[in-house]
């Protein structure tokens, strides 16, 4: 009996010691799996560990995050939600409405987030006034990337209008070079579409069409012109584009197989990870048009049991919005910091252009949430638009028919 009591006491003591040593725990679900992205998330893992935390990585491949969201829903339904999940835009509010997000307001208030985050970005991180997510960065979506040597060899300058882009693409095609590197995945089709749409519609009508879902703009002549340009874009991609991941399309620009790519500035992270220099090996410019489409990465904290996991959430939230992580992460990722007080002296020329144009766009009303990257609309509405975009891109559907289908799809999604 004494041995049994002694063994039980020893076991309890060992368990208590183990719990005491456990420290903050975090199981983190994300879809940062490409070169530049993986390097970026490793920065957070290292900082978390340096502060006594234990990180359990749950990467789910797929640039658009669709596979990650499927995995998340399965975990939540089984009552075993991850500690933190890469979420953004209206998706944060949708999960909050399901009653599964944690309140991290105590961290946000202690760290003074309201003083260092732009109001528009902070609004995405709040759920009925309480903080439920932490912003990592600000990505610009409407970038045009190019191989500097390919353009120089063919006497082509970075286009400033879609007419100039088309002329350059025709010239490249005649020279046997793929004009546009693209991956045939729904979110990539949607990315090209919204960038073209911003350039043709302008900021005001883009807001009306893809934030307010205004039927007059959705069915107008300018929307027909958007689909006309998308038909041209389809002719500028190679035959092997279906199913290609975005970073493989970026690699096509790197190796000179293709000249241009339309993609957010996470593509810059790939160029930098490969040792390429902006202005020398690759070129960056805002895509033709006037505006700034933003995509803010963030982590939402889910309701979890256990003080170790809750401590992990608090530590993770503090580090994510901390100045050091905001600087180091964004230097690797290609984006710019979400907080406005991070020194930009170590950032490259593309990041400086992004930061400058974000400020000017914020002042003139052309700073807009990306529909294609889940910042502007809820899933049903954005999915309805993307279904039409992909159907048009992968068929010989007329622009007029696409506009009619777009109008009906949006109306049916509401």
For 381-397, the pLDDT digits (tens) are 999 999 999 999 999 99
Tens of pLDDT, residue by residue over 83-105, are: 999 999 999 999 999 999 999 99
Residue 105 host element (H or E): helix 105-111
* Whether the predicted pLDDT of 21 surpasses 80: no
Residue 64 confidence (pLDDT): 65
**pLDDT tens per residue across span 133-150:** 999 999 999 999 999 999
Q: Taking the domain 140-294+351-413, which CATH number applies?
A: 3.40.190.10
Q: pLDDT for 326-357, tens place per residue? A: 998 888 888 999 988 899 999 999 999 998 89
For 239, list phi and psi in degrees, rounded to 5: -70, -20
Q: Could you tell me how many helices (H) and strands (E) the chain has, helices first?
A: 20, 15
Q: What is the pLDDT of residue 97?
A: 96
**CA angle at 411 for the pair 409 and 414, rounded to the nearest 5°:** 105
pLDDT at position 119: 80
- How far, in Å, CA of 73 to CA of 71, rounded? 6
pLDDT digits (tens, 9 = 90+) for 162-217: 999 999 999 999 999 999 999 999 999 999 999 999 999 999 999 999 999 999 99
Residue 10, pLDDT score: 45
Are domains 2-138+295-347 and 140-294+351-413 of this chain identical in fold?
Answer: yes
User: Two tokens at 388?
Assistant: 């039409």
Burial 190-215 (b: 16+ CB within 10 A, else e): bbbbbbbbbbbbbbebbbbbbeebee
CATH of domain 2-138+295-347: 3.40.190.10
Give the pLDDT of residue 121.
Answer: 87
Range of lowest pLDDT (215-219, 319-323, 364-368): 364-368
**Tokens standing for 250?**
């970026």
Going 323 to 373 to 310 to 93, the CA torsion angle's sign is positive
**Backbone region of residue 374 per phi and psi (left: phi > 0; alpha: psi in -120 to 50; beta: other values):** left
Q: In this predicted model, what pLDDT tens digit does every residue of 102-128 receive, in sequence order?
A: 999 999 999 999 999 888 889 999 999
Q: Would you tell me how many other CB atoms lie within 10 Å of the CB of residue 341?
A: 10
Q: For the CA atoms of 310, 312, 315, 320, what is the dihedral angle to 10 degrees?
A: -110
**222-242 pLDDT, tens per residue?**
999 999 999 999 999 999 999
Segment 410-414 shows an average pLDDT of 96
Q: How many residues are present in the chain?
A: 414
From the number of C-beta atoms within 10 Å of its C-beta (0-12, 13-18, 19+), residue 77 rates as exposed
Q: Is 366 a residue whose pLDDT tops 80?
A: yes
Specify the 3-state DSSP secondary structure of 228.
helix
Residues 6 or more apart from 77 whose CB is under 8 A from it? none
d(CA 61, CA 59) in angstroms, rounded, equals 6
The predicted structure's pLDDT at residue 61: 85
Which residue carries 């002042």 as its tokens?
363
In contact, 50 and 343? CB cutoff 8 Å: no
The answer, yes or no, to whether residue 2 has pLDDT greater than 80, is no
Q: What is the pLDDT of residue 269?
A: 86
Query: What is the residue extent of each domain of the chain?
Result: 2-138+295-347, 140-294+351-413
pLDDT of residue 358: 85
- pLDDT at residue 1 in the model: 46
- Residue 263 dihedral angles phi and psi, to the nearest 5°: -165, 155
| Beta-carbon count within 10 A of 35 CB | 16
């Amino acid at each position: 009996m004494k041995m049994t009591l002694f063994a039980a006491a020893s076991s309890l003591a060992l368990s208590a010691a183990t719990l005491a040593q456990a420290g903050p725990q975090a199981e983190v679900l994300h879809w940062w799996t490409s070169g530049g992205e993986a390097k970026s998330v490793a920065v957070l893992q290292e900082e978390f560990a340096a502060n006594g935390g234990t990180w359990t990585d749950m990467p789910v491949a797929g640039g658009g995050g669709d596979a990650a969201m499927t995995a998340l829903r399965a975990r939540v339904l089984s009552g075993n939600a991850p500690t933190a999940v890469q979420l953004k835009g209206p998706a944060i509010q949708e999960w909050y409405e399901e009653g599964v997000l944690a309140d991290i307001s105590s961290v946000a208030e202690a760290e003074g987030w309201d003083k260092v985050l732009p109001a528009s970005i902070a609004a995405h991180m709040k759920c009925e006034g309480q903080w439920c997510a932490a912003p990592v960065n600000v990505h610009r979506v409407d970038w045009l990337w190019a191989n500097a040597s390919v353009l120089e060899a063919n006497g082509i300058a970075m286009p400033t209008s879609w007419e100039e882009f088309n002329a350059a693409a025709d010239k490249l095609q005649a020279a046997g070079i793929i004009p546009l590197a693209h991956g045939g995945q729904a979110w990539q089709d949607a990315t090209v579409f919204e960038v073209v749409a911003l350039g043709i519609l302008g900021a005001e009508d883009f807001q009306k069409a893809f934030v307010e879902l205004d039927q007059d703009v959705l069915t107008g002549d300018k929307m027909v012109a958007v689909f006309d340009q998308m038909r041209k874009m389809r002719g500028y991609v190679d035959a092997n584009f279906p199913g290609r991941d975005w970073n493989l399309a970026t690699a096509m620009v790197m190796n000179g197989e293709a000249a241009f790519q339309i993609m957010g500035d996470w593509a810059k992270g790939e160029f930098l990870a490969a040792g390429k220099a902006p202005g020398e090996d690759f070129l960056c410019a805002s895509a033709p048009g006037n505006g700034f489409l933003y995509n803010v990465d963030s982590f939402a904290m889910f309701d979890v049991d256990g003080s170790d996991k809750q401590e992990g959430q608090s530590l993770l939230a503090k580090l994510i919005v901390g100045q050091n992580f905001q600087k180091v992460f964004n230097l690797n990722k290609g984006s710019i910091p979400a907080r406005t007080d991070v020194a930009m002296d170590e950032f490259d020329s593309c990041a400086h252009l992004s930061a400058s144009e974000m400020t000017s766009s914020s002042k003139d009303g052309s700073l807009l949430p990306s529909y294609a990257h889940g910042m502007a609309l809820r899933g049903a509405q954005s999915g309805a638009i993307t279904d039409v975009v992909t159907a048009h891109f992968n068929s010989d559907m007329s622009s007029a028919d696409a506009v009619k289908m777009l109008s009906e799809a949006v109306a049916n999604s509401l």
